[in-house]
Amino acid sequence: MKKFKIKSGDTVKVIAGDHKGSEGKVLQILKEKDRAIVEGVNMVSKHTKPSAQSPQGGIVKKEASLHISNLALTEDGEAVRVGYRMDGDKKVRFSKKSEKAI
Those residues with Cβ within 8 angstroms of residue 34's Cβ, 6 or more apart along the chain or in another chain: 2, 67, 68, 69
pLDDT of residue 60: 92
Whether 1 maps to a domain, the answer reads no
Has residue 5 been placed in a domain?
Answer: no
Q: The domain that contains 29 carries what CATH number? A: 2.30.30.30
Are 30 and 36 a contacting pair, CB within 8 Å? yes
In a domain, 91, yes or no: yes
Instruction: Give tens-digit pLDDT for 12-56.
Output: 999 999 999 999 999 999 999 999 999 999 999 999 999 998 899
Q: How many domains does one find in the chain?
A: 1
Residue 36 structural domain: 11-51+59-95
DSSP at 95? E
CA distance 52 to 64: 24
74 domain residue, yes or no: yes
- Examine residue 65 and state whether it is found in any structural domain, yes or no: yes
